[in-house]
């Protein structure tokens, strides 16, 4: 039997299935407690114990996982949430029902805010499940423990679960829900875990069943033969050898250059990206310098962070995105007011124009950092919708000393007007995550519409092709900096559509580099043409794959 989904990366794995327990059922609504004071004390204790457990797990995990788990620990002891839980108990609810209602209500509010805040809703739900499990005396949902390696099967994974996966035990991930830009897919790609998401029949898999997981094809072979297992193990060895191959500049098989760049969030990521063979940085997300601040960091504080990152890439291109914040990432000093539809609200360059002093300070800090380092600094504006916005940003950036200013193409209007935008901008970079959600009217953080969040969709590819055409006509760089660039098969298509550089999580560089070397420019353009002719994301993926198989034969 063969199941299928959306593969993340190109890795292959084989082993027995271990299923992740389903979420706990909703606590009964009409149960009562005899002693409310005792119930309050019991629930406070459960919240504190979960917070302590998350903090301890974070300390063991370290790195980004520690940040995720520390944030969850704070949620468990958030005074507003705790007060809400206690009030519900005093109104007759059991501790577990009070936790369920209070946390769920807050989750709904976070999802309504969209963007960065909506991402925290999943974390909050995970905390609630852990507290309810402790109150009811059952094991907390989470990754099952095992003495032997296994393929993890789940409906979906909380970020904390993915961040803490034991890579010596978890061979691969299979999830029923999620798309190519879901949190699970992004973290799996960053940690180089073979994964297939959106597997509709994942619930049919049983503990102990043997499977072969091929992320490159998105296929799961269930109960394979000995011969199929032997072939899979041979593929695994081939991939291990490819991963250890010498790092070379990105190029197609005919020598056509394609810059392979890294997406980073700060100086700590830069060194690792350089080590993994990034030829520079295609997306430096600067909002992480601002998100935890009650006031805007000073020019000097920003400059120090920028210098640290730029020093990792002497003589190489580093593309910095100006602060991408606003209604979907509320900042007290920028815009903390609620909007009914924040994804379509005052965000990116729109909010920076409302607070030009913040933009001026950031551009000044970047210009000074660029002058003090040997990196080739490029700076781009987020959420540009029309040529006038490009003209505004480019003029201001040049005034403040930025030598190479450009803009991001994240909304359909910018893609359709790319030719006019490139009259002012020195380059454009396509953010495929947002471009996909705006093209298909599907919030990329909502699981209910995850099936639409697929950058292989021909509508998205046609917009990319329009930008590629404009870039060729103007003789200017067209980069890709969304998750689409990390998909090796899609990377070939994007180059065929006119992309001159690809930026991705550093862990994906080896796979993409190897895949590009298997095609010529003519073949990449042929796959792009085939994908454009499809009527669905699945059809585009299949059309490109068919040409790849023909070439391989």
Catalytic (active site) residue 30: no
Between the alpha carbon of residue 274 and those of residues 63, 247, 264, 266, 505, the distances in Å are 18, 11, 11, 13, 12
Name 407's bridge partners: 381, 428
**What are the strands of the beta sheet with 2-4, ordered from one edge?**
2-4, 219-222, 210-214, 12-19, 150-154, 170-175, 195-197, 6-8
| 3-class SS of residue 131 | helix
**Nearest-CA neighbor of 438 among 114, 107, 8, 5?**
114
Q: Cα–Cα distance between 171 and 194 in angstroms, integer?
A: 7
Task: Centre a 10 Å sphere on the Cβ of residue 41 and count the other Cβ atoms it contains.
Answer: 12
DSSP assignments along 436-448, one per residue: HHHHTT--TT-GG
Residue that has been written with the tokens 């503990």 in this structure: 207
417 Cβ neighbours under 8 A, 6+ residues apart? 386, 387
Q: Cα–Cα distance between 59 and 312 in angstroms, integer?
A: 27
Q: Cα–Cα distance between 26 and 170 in angstroms, integer?
A: 29
Which DSSP state fits 222? E
Catalytic (active site) residue 481: yes
Q: Cα–Cα distance between 219 and 180 in angstroms, integer?
A: 15
Between the alpha carbon of residue 403 and those of residues 48, 362, 366, 394, 396, the distances in Å are 52, 15, 11, 10, 11
Q: Checking DSSP bridges between strand 405-409 and strand 427-430, what pairing results, if any?
A: parallel
Q: Cα–Cα distance between 196 and 508 in angstroms, integer?
A: 15
* From 100, 355, 457, 481, active-site residue: 481
Structure tokens at 73: 């620990």
With vertex at residue 142, the alpha carbon angle to CA 140 and CA 143, rounded to the nearest 5 degrees, is 140
Q: Cα–Cα distance between 531 and 77 in angstroms, integer?
A: 50
Q: Please, what's the b/e burial string for 389-415 (b: 16 or more CB within 10 A of its CB; e: otherwise)?
A: bbbbbbebbbebebebbbbbbbbbbbb
What would the 3-class secondary structure string for 316-331 be? CEEEEECCCCECCECE
Q: Cα–Cα distance between 473 and 217 in angstroms, integer?
A: 35
Q: Cα–Cα distance between 176 and 199 in angstroms, integer?
A: 5
* From 30, 100, 183, 355, active-site residue: 183
- Give the residue numbers annotated as catalytic, written as ranges: 183, 481
């Amino acid at each position: 039997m063969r199941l299928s989904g959306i593969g993340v990366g190109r890795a292959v794995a084989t082993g027995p299935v271990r299923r992740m327990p389903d979420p706990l059922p909703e606590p009964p609504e009409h149960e009562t407690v005899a002693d409310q004071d005792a119930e309050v004390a019991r629930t406070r204790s459960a919240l504190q114990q979960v917070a302590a457990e998350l903090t301890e797990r974070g300390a063991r995990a370290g790195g980004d996982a520690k940040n995720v788990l520390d944030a969850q620990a704070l949620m468990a002891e958030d005074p507003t949430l705790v007060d809400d839980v206690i009030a519900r108990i005093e109104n007759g609810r059991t501790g577990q029902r009070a936790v369920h209602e209070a946390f769920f209500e807050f989750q709904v509010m976070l999802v309504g805010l969209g963007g960065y805040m909506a991402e925290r809703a999943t974390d909050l739900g995970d905390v609630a499940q852990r507290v309810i499990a402790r109150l009811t005396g059952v094991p907390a949902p989470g990754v099952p423990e095992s003495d032997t390696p296994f393929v993890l099967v789940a409906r979906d994974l909380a970020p904390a679960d993915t961040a803490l996966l034991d890579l010596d035990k978890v061979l691969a991930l299979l999830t029923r829900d999620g798309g190519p830009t879901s949190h699970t897919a992004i973290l799996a790609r960053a940690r180089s875990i073979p994964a297939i998401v959106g597997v509709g029949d994942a619930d049919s898999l049983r503990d102990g069943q043997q499977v072969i997981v091929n992320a490159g094809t998105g296929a799961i072979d269930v109960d394979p033969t000995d011969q199929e297992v032997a072939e899979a193990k041979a593929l695994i060895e081939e991939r291990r050898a490819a991963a250890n191959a010498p790092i070379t500049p990105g190029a197609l098989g005919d020598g056509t250059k394609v810059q392979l760049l890294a997406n980073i969030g700060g100086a700590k990521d830069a060194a690792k990206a350089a080590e993994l063979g990034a030829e520079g940085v295609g997306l430096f997300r600067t909002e992480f310098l601002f998100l935890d601040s009650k006031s805007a960091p000073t020019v000097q504080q920003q400059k120090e962070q920028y210098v640290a990152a730029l020093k990792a890439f002497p003589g190489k291109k580093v593309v910095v995105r100006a602060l991408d914040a606003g209604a979907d990432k509320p900042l007290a000093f920028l815009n903390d007011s609620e909007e009914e539809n924040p994804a379509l609200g005052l965000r990116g360059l729109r909010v920076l124009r409302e607070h030009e002093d913040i933009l001026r300070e950031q551009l000044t800090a970047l210009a000074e950092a660029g002058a003090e380092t040997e990196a080739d600094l490029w700076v781009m504006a987020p959420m540009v919708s029309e040529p006038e916005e490009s003209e505004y940003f480019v003029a201001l950036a040049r005034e403040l000393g930025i030598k190479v200013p450009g803009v991001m193409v994240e909304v359909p209007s910018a893609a359709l007007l790319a030719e006019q935008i490139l009259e002012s901008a020195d380059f454009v970079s396509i953010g495929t995550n947002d471009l996909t959600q705006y093209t298909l009217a599907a919030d990329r953080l909502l699981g209910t519409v995850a099936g639409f969040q697929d950058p292989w969709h021909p509508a998205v590819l046609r917009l990319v092709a329009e930008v590629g055409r404009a870039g060729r006509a103007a003789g200017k760089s067209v980069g890709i900096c969304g998750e689409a660039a990390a998909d090796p098969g899609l990377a070939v298509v994007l180059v065929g559509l006119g992309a001159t550089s690809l930026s991705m999580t550093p862990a994906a560089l080896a796979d993409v580099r190897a895949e590009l070397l298997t095609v010529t420019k003519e073949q990449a353009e042929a796959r792009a043409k085939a994908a454009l002719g499809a009527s669905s994301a699945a059809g585009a993926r299949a059309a490109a794959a068919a040409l790849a198989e023909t070439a391989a034969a």
